[in-house]
Structure 1
Amino acid sequence: MTLITWLRHQSRPMLVLTLLGIFAGLFAAFWLLFHFVRPAPPRTVTIAAGTEGGAYAMFAERYRAALAREGIELVIRPTSGSVENLRLLKTDPAIDLGFVQSGIAVEPESEDLMSLGSMYVEPVWIFHRLGQTPTRLTELAGRRLAVGSPGSGTQLFALQLLAASGFAVDAKGLLALDDNAAAEALLAGDIDAAFIVAAPEAPVVQRLLERPEIGLVDLAQAPAFARRLPHLTPLTLPAGALDLAHVRPAHDVRLLGATAGLVARQDLHPAIVSLLLLAARDIHGRPGLFQHVGEYPQAGGRELPLSPTARRFHESGPPLLQRYLPFWLAVLVDRLLVSLLPVVALLIPLMRITPALYAWRMRSRIYRWYGELKFLESDIARHFEPQRTEDYFAHLDRIEEQANRRKVPLAFANELYTLREHIQLVRRSLLRKAQGGH
């Protein structure tokens, strides 16, 4: 018997109660799944950016504008840089994601974090005002050097490079200045050189590159540094890359670079991850001094596990629904699908079991009457007492009345008719015994 056939043969109260029970159970299951298995993405996300006016803050503003178009508020938390960003991600539950440079995050210390991929290249700019271009860091010995503020990736990388070149990390003349303060001091002549790790688009980098009295250290040993510090990569700033007409720089400049990535807590909603990476394509996918169009964002980075959502995005593009639907509609449809699948999986066996249970229930009632009839027939055959004839007929009438009163679907009508025939057979047999007994 199919579910449709079964429903068709139910009485109206039974049908209403059955359907109400089924729908109430399914609604409860759906509600639980909808709210707890795939909750809605948050309306507010907090990002740890860098210093105000730096590259991280600049890019964070672009992300904020992109997310605002989809109804998500991105709160920007100013920090001193990558090292502090990573610390906040580990210790402050209010921080959802942040910019972190390659080589800073280390497992298992960051086991609760995941990478969304590498967003762009961050050169290690070593600006100077020494006149003649240095080609080795040892040429900066005894000079006043800005090495970045505490908690910044700039300071971490600067001290790593200087230590590899034989400098003492507490040497006199190493000044802990942030990027903006270092630029001001360099332009004022208060220091001789400054380490700045930032994207070429960063205002502080652009400002220094435009000043003719400020030059760049041409690191002849860049490949050797990259071997010692594998999170850094040799880069080349081609001659004329800054100004083709006036050929600035006048020759190729060898640099080192890290990659800036987005790192998030592992509980960041997958829909937010996809939305961030869609924005990253527009923000970081353009050609630049050190990258080709569409080269970034990419799945690079070995320090942290890549988010499963980010991995699918980098391999196959944005989720199917987000390609064709507005963000919140895509999220709603996705949640509905995820919530409905278990309900459908539950409904399919339920649609098969319910008619079978009903068939068993109907047959069990008919078989119960058969049991009564068989017991009565056996009693008459073995222990017939003429004085009880009226009781025998009354018992038969009760069984027949119950069978006649019960409405059954057509599928069981044949069994009910057979029961009635058997009742008549027992009645005729009883009648013969009663007549023979007189």
Structure 2
Amino acid sequence: MQKNKMQLARLLLFLSLVLIVLYATFKAVPARQIRIAAGPEGGSFYAIALQYKKILEKKYYQVEIIPFQNTDEISAQVADDAAHVDIGFVANDLHGKNTGSLISLGEIQLQPIFIFVNRKEEAAGRIQSFADLRGLRLVLPPEKSVTSQTLLSIFALYGIDRNNTPLSFLSIGSGIPQLVQEKFDAGLFILGAESELMAELAKNQHLALAEMKQQAAIVRRFPFLQEVTLPNGIFDLEGKIPARDVKLLAASISVIAKKDLPPATTYALLEAMWEVHRSSSYVNGENEFPKYSSTAIHTSEFVNEFYRKGTPWIFSTFPVAAASILDAYLAPLLGIWFFLSIYRVFIQLEKIRSLTLSFLAHLLLCWLRWGIRKGRPLSPLARFLVEKVESAIEREEQGLPEVLAELKHLKQL
């Protein structure tokens, strides 16, 4: 009966250990689904997300791209646990927004603010600064988009609002055709410099790409903006489009993610970002992006480590599941191994101490027996040594009973 109870206890202990290992493994291995909040289809955010998707799917991730017309809401969607969005794109100042649950994966590119005006307005020489846009019929992307929110902030500096300027907020697919049809005097867009849509507008004979003054002053007001130069002929070398170098304002685009994004998933995303953005573009040099982002959003330590040293060897060497388990439990396992090693050292030292005591006890007995055979009484030194060895043997849990009995007997002589 007792034996059956012991077997049952061992079985329950074994099953408990198996369940603990399975639970720990389940918790450590990340989900293989990634949801990306992007801009509308046809926009640059969506195009970048498609490039990420292609790379990540080669690493066996399932990627879902969620288009948003109102790109200004992307950060809130990523921060909202109920939305189940893992990463997204931002291009404006996030101060004052809820970013406590977000991290930045870095800046990925500069997207110029393209301002295309009707040739008639441009020929009159009236469009030299944002102030000159007041009163014109302007078309912008949807009002809650990053582009429009950025431009409205700039407009506010020049006193431009709906009261003095007709502002229309349309999707790119609707706004650009109407701009080409001259239903608007100017259109303002923030898109990648390589955008085919912007190249087509630049080549349109009825439109001109405007260069605004006071750009340096605007950059001082909005740190997420930079000045860039679109080179002469970049859209068409033979046709010299644009006909000169054009200085433009550009928004710095960053990728944000949930703070609790698993390390393996984070490194996979960072590697995809590096593969997509390390090449030069029309407005930035090779290997300029992606880069560490010192924005209002926090950056995690392993993101910083990636930009300093690249992907850690665990994640670059092992499959995702194995790497995640090692990353989660390597430190505690090493700690356990260290303490077990110390314990083994103590056990070995204890064995050495016991063997040494046994050797000294037998050596003392041999010396005492030799003295007795010679008829010599126990000297004070011999009695002192007997007492010390006797005391040491008595402290042993598994002592030397025969040796101890003989020592006590000899001490009585």
- TM-score, normalised relative to structure 2: 0.76
1:106 partnered with 2:91: no
Q: 1:248, 1:201 → 2: CA distance?
A: 13
Summarize the Cα distance change of 1:117–1:289 in structure 2 as closer, same or farther, 3 Å threshold.
same
Structure 1 match to 2:295? 302
Summarize the Cα distance change of 1:108–1:342 in structure 2 as closer, same or farther, 3 Å threshold.
farther
Structure 1 match to 2:363? none
Summarize the Cα distance change of 1:42–1:220 in structure 2 as closer, same or farther, 3 Å threshold.
same
What SS is found at the alignment partner of 1:341? helix
What SS is found at the alignment partner of 1:190? coil
Amino acid in structure 1 at the alignment position of 2:208:
G
- The structural deviation recorded for 1:113 is 0.9
1:96 maps to which of 76, 86, 102 = 86
1:163 partnered with 2:126: no
Structure 2 match to 1:149? 142
1:337 maps to which of 324, 330, 334 = 330
2:45 maps to which of 27, 51, 56 = 56
Amino acid in structure 1 at the alignment position of 2:402:
Y
Structure 1 match to 2:380? none
Summarize the Cα distance change of 1:332–1:214 in structure 2 as closer, same or farther, 3 Å threshold.
farther
What SS is found at the alignment partner of 2:248? strand
Is contact 1:54-1:204 (8 Å) kept? no
What SS is found at the alignment partner of 2:337? helix
1:250 partnered with 2:243: yes
What SS is found at the alignment partner of 1:75? strand
Structure 1 match to 2:191? 198
Structure 2 match to 1:311? 304
Q: Which moved more, 1:91-100 or 1:63-72?
A: 91-100
1:117 maps to which of 93, 96, 106 = 106
Is contact 2:109-2:289 (8 Å) kept? yes
Is contact 1:149-1:177 (8 Å) kept? yes
What SS is found at the alignment partner of 1:185? helix
1:83 maps to which of 52, 64, 72 = 72
The correspondence of residues 1-400 of structure 1 with structure 2, limited to 5 A, is 31=21, 34-35=24-25, 39-93=28-82, 94-103=84-93, 105-106=94-95, 109-133=98-122, 134-169=127-162, 171-335=164-328, 337-352=330-345
What SS is found at the alignment partner of 1:196? strand
Q: 1:226, 1:252 → 2: CA distance?
A: 19
Is contact 1:124-1:196 (8 Å) kept? yes
- The structural deviation recorded for 1:150 is 2.7
1:215-258 deviation per Cα after TM superposition (whole angstroms, max 9, x unaligned): 21111221121122222111211222222222211112121111
1:416 maps to which of 378, 401, 408 = 401
Larger radius of gyration: 1
Q: Which moved more, 1:343-352 or 1:118-127?
A: 343-352
Q: Which moved more, 1:110-119 or 1:126-135?
A: 126-135
Is contact 1:30-1:339 (8 Å) kept? no
Structure 2 match to 1:4? none
